[in-house]
Amino acid sequence: MEKYTPKKDLVRKLSEYAKGVFTHKTLERVKSCGDFMQHLTNLEMNAKKVHRSNSCGNRFCPLCTWNKAKKDAIMLAVLMQAIREQEEQEFIFLTLTAPNVTGAELKNEIDQFNHAFKKLFDRRNVKQVVNGYVRKLEVTYNQERFITRDMYKRAKDYYDKRNLKEGDHNPNYDTYHPHFHVILAVNKSYFTSRDYLKQEKWLEMWRECMNDDSITQVDIRKVRSSEKSENGAVLEVAKYSAKSNELYASQSVFEIFYRALKGRQLLTFNGLFKEYVKKYKQDELDQYKKQDENEYTHLLTSVWKTSKYENLLRRLSVGEFEEYNKKFKDLEEFDDLN
């Protein structure tokens, strides 16, 4: 349960921040999220699968967003494999950004992003080559007062241009950075076709659609068919819209995130991806799912007591053993999502 405990701590933080924001009923549900959990496991406890849990389903809940991200990652990996094989598609990973904004500007900026995205994908030359996409809205928050070594290394050019070095005041302190991560499906022939869109073209179009000449970057790369490359794209799109250390940085930061993100569609499917989500939900893509090869012999019951889980492990009865060891799908992989 070592992975759950820190998340359960965050649930407590969220319940404090959300007092004046959530309704009483929602707040009570969130507070008790993950208080009771059962995992199927074995004596060594090296394989675990959620059997039952009380979860609140709130999109700001650290436990529920973590679980959803894992499920989304599994689904996306299946969708990509199926689309690659059945539709003979290749994938492109696109990241669309703009300069940081203040908390007061965030909500409008996300509206602007949505609007600009629609404009971009309505363009004739884009429509012509993109057969579908999956898009994730992510917002990061910059809470460093001073430029750290890591930040400097990651954006050396940016700081050098502004004559800034490690330890200087961070010009983006207390700002928000909304951006889109997108996986595009294109025909195999796209990369050698006349309709191929270069990175500079994407940048130019994104600037026009956002109506913002200060945008200097659009990141676009081909997703190679290796597992590593594909998983990288999948994890970027599946992961949470807000990192927990940022979302719960303070009461006011939480409220800004909340007002900007509530009611929004965070993960969007279009074209081939939309079609294949339907197939996935109707179990038509089961052949692409990994089979769970584990054998479950025990049941672990965990109950949250103030600051930690109390665990009880017991052996499954013969009947339970047979019932729970029918070949499972949806392995709990993508455990590298923390």
CB of 26 vs Zn ion, minimal distance in Å: 10
Beta-bridge partner residues of 308: 305
Nearer to Zn ion, 35 or 105 (CB): 35
- How far apart (Å, rounded) are the C-alpha atoms in residues 127 and 234? 23
CB of 269 vs Zn ion, minimal distance in Å: 23
Find all residues with CB under 8 Å of 48, minimum gap 6, and list them. 39, 40, 41, 300, 332
Nearer to Zn ion, 17 or 176 (CB): 17
CB of 178 vs Zn ion, minimal distance in Å: 24
C-alpha closest to that of 10 among 28, 26, 33 = 33
Please spell the DSSP secondary structure of 120-154, one letter per residue.
Answer: HHHSHHHHTT--EEEEEEEEEEE--SB--HHHHHH
Q: Is residue 66 a contact partner of residue 231, using CB atoms and an 8 Å limit?
A: no
Options 18, 27, 33, 134; binder of Zn ion; rule CB under 5 A: 33
CB of 14 vs Zn ion, minimal distance in Å: 9
Nearer to Zn ion, 63 or 120 (CB): 63
Nearer to Zn ion, 64 or 247 (CB): 64
Q: How many residues bind Zn ion (CB under 5 A)?
A: 6
Residues 134 to 173: which contact Zn ion by CB under 5 A? none
Give, rounded to a whole angstrom, the gap between the first and last alpha carbons of the chain.
13
CB of 56 vs Zn ion, minimal distance in Å: 4
Does 37 engage in binding with Zn ion (CB under 5 A)? no
- How far apart (Å, rounded) are the C-alpha atoms in residues 56 and 101? 31
Q: Is residue 60 a contact partner of residue 26, using CB atoms and an 8 Å limit?
A: no
What stretches of 97-238 adopt beta strand conformation (E)? 132-142, 175-187, 218-223
Per-residue mark of binding to Zn ion, 40-69 (x: CB under 5 A): ---------------xx----x-xx-----
Nearer to Zn ion, 60 or 93 (CB): 60
- For residue 318 the two structure tokens come to 């013969």
Nearer to Zn ion, 61 or 182 (CB): 61
Which parts of this chain interact with Zn ion (CB under 5 A)? 33, 55-56, 61, 63-64
